[in-house]
Structure 1
Amino acid sequence: MLSVLIETKNDEEALARTLDSLVSAAGDGTIREVIVCDLGSTDQTHRVAEQAGCEFLATGSIAAAIGQAKGDWLLLLEPGARLGEGWTQAVRDHAEMMKMPGRFTRARADRPGFLARIFSSDRALREGLLIRKAQAEPLSRRAKSAEAIARGLATKRLHAEIRIAPPL
């Protein structure tokens, strides 16, 4: 059903945290595969991905990963992001009823204050992106990164929380 795509560069610890939050969904069949697109890591990111059973694209672009993905729906995540309890049901509900992309709801501890919302330039993938493969493919042809695919898309809010990746 779902292919998870994660772009990395020297993110071994953050990738491990994200993959840990996906384990239960792999067991129940929600996740079909996890593809890690590496942008030139010099740390042990590849070992973390391989030990977790992920497909690892050492020089792969996000377009290559989208083309290779087997799921009808794609979940793009930042390394370090952790999905909260109940996220698999929220994704299933969204996939059954919606055609438009979706984003998770930030966990309360990660919600910025008023001034932070005004003065920050938020990353488009901070809350993840759930998108149909058919919609992501044409976007990926001109996008250089997963972040570029996620930027500017109208999305529906999913009823599941995400702990966002710490700032870079």
Structure 2
Amino acid sequence: MLSVIIPTHESERVLVRTLACLVPGATAGLIREVILADGGSTDETAEVGDVAGCRFLPLPGPVGPRLDFAVSSARGDWLLFVPAGSVLEPGWVAELQQFIDRASAGLAPTGIAAAFSDAPPPQGEGSMLRAVLAVWRARRKSLAPGRGLLISKASLRELGGFGNQNDPEADVLRRIGKRRLTMLRTGIVTPSDT
């Protein structure tokens, strides 16, 4: 069902935490495979991926062609792009499954793709106001790269893939547009957030 694609380059130290947070998706049967689209690592990135059962696709050079190469070999109908070192918050499996089910049935609320929020869900007193502010901030920043991206393989192909842009993820997000991007309630913690 879902192929997870992680662009890597010298990522052995940060990759373990990303792979660990994907385990619930694998045990739930959501994740079909994890692909490491590697840019020519000389550290132990390949070995870390091998121990975790990932497919390692080395292709030195820009990240856009590496991602397109990984997409072309992906077995899943849906693709989840996650930066190496990122950690998905609990609850992501059910939320992704729900989005995929609704999108496959033509019932997705806002479009063809989804991205993770950048803040944990608010808790405690006054949480309704904080929830509204969090949603507003997430929508404002929804086209920021590095928040993870869930998209069907067919939709990504219709968009023309990643190509050889300076910032291929930002370019794909621009082509998707805010109106066709659903912001998930589940958050993602990226290496830049820590």
TM-score (norm 1): 0.83
- 34 and 48 in structure 1: CA distance in 2 versus 1, 3 angstrom threshold: same
Distance 1:40 1:148 in 2: 22
What is the correspondence of 1:14-163 to structure 2 with a 5 Å cutoff? 14-59=14-59, 61-97=66-102, 98=108, 99-108=111-120, 124-138=144-158, 139-140=160-161, 142-143=163-164, 147-148=169-170, 150-152=172-174, 153-154=176-177, 155-163=181-189
Distance 1:72 1:122 in 2: 23
- Per-residue deviation, 1:74: 0.3
Instruction: Give the alignment's Cα RMSD to 1 decimal.
Output: 2.5
Q: Which has the larger radius of gyration?
A: 2
Aligned residues: 157
Q: Give the unaligned 5+ runs of structure 1.
A: 110-116
Amino acid at match of 2:182: K
Amino acid at match of 1:56: F
Distance 1:146 1:30 in 2: 26
Distance 1:105 1:131 in 2: 15
Distance 1:21 1:141 in 2: 25
Aligned: 1:5 with 2:5: yes
Q: Verify the 8 A CA contact 1:39 1:59 in the aligned structure 2.
A: yes
Identity of counterpart residues, as a percentage?
Answer: 36
Q: Give the unaligned 5+ runs of structure 2.
A: 61-65, 103-107, 122-136
CA deviation map 1:113-160 (0-9, x unaligned): xxxx9xxx9994321000010122353263457525543132111121
Aligned to 1:112: none
- 106 and 9 in structure 1: CA distance in 2 versus 1, 3 angstrom threshold: same
Distance 1:13 1:58 in 2: 18
Distance 1:59 1:142 in 2: 14
Q: Which has the higher helix share?
A: 2
- Per-residue deviation, 1:75: 0.2
Distance 1:149 1:49 in 2: 28
CA deviation map 1:65-111 (0-9, x unaligned): 101111111000100110111101110111122251000111349xx
Q: Verify the 8 A CA contact 1:7 1:146 in the aligned structure 2.
A: no
